[in-house]
Amino acid sequence: MARTSIYDRISEKRLAAEALARQQAEEAANAPAVVIEPEPVPVLPLQPARNELKVAGLALLMPQGFNFRDIDTTLERDGHPVTFGAKRRPAPEGLTLQRSADIYVDNLRKYHPDITIVRQSDCLLAGNPAISVDYIFAANQERRHGRAISAIIDSANGSERQWFSVSTVINPDLPALASWLIDFDEMLSDIVAG
């Protein structure tokens, strides 16, 4: 029996591997595409009359008849301040999500004329379509990075649409705050109905 050279055997293996790869590619192209659908995000309505704050494990329930409008607070990480805000207003008919983001930016410019919009993108807030706006500005000779996420959400009783916005501002040059915007986004993705 005549044995072929090592180069012929290597060439035969390469040609066989290429033929197998072509065959698998053709089979994959002809096979029905498998689409993995992401799990739907639950759409959470606002309940304007139900308000509570949980701070350090203590729940503070607001009295009946008092509706949440603005929360502006300062959090702290390793001694460095992080501002956090949440706002709610009735959304007039015809107010679009893009227009609400434009109004938000216009209001920011009143206080920070040097503001620069870094990024604007579509996202979800409590399962509702939202717009995220990242911006930078200077405060007391220091750089600040802000992120605001706004949505127009139906109220639980269906009587009125609500504009809802959650925001944060940090000094991005502080190493202790390097991961805050990631934490902020994760915190918002974990919003649940109460």
The tens place of each residue's pLDDT in the chain, 194 residues long, gives 555 666 566 677 778 888 888 888 787 777 766 667 767 767 777 776 777 777 888 888 888 888 888 999 999 999 999 999 999 898 888 899 999 999 999 999 999 999 999 999 999 998 889 999 999 999 888 899 999 999 998 776 667 888 999 999 999 999 999 999 999 999 998 877 65
In a domain, 128, yes or no: yes
In a domain, 37, yes or no: no
Whole-number Å distance between alpha carbons of 62 and 49: 9
CATH of the domain at 168: 3.40.1000.10
Whole-number Å distance between alpha carbons of 194 and 192: 6
In a domain, 39, yes or no: no
Q: How many domains does the chain have?
A: 1
In a domain, 27, yes or no: no
Bridge-based pairing of strands 70-77 and 142-154 is unpaired
Q: Which domain holds residue 164?
A: 52-189
In a domain, 170, yes or no: yes
Whole-number Å distance between alpha carbons of 22 and 127: 43
- Predicted pLDDT of residue 105: 94
Amino acid (1-letter code) at residue 56: A
Whole-number Å distance between alpha carbons of 35 and 32: 9
Nearest by Cα to 152 from 143, 162, 144? 162
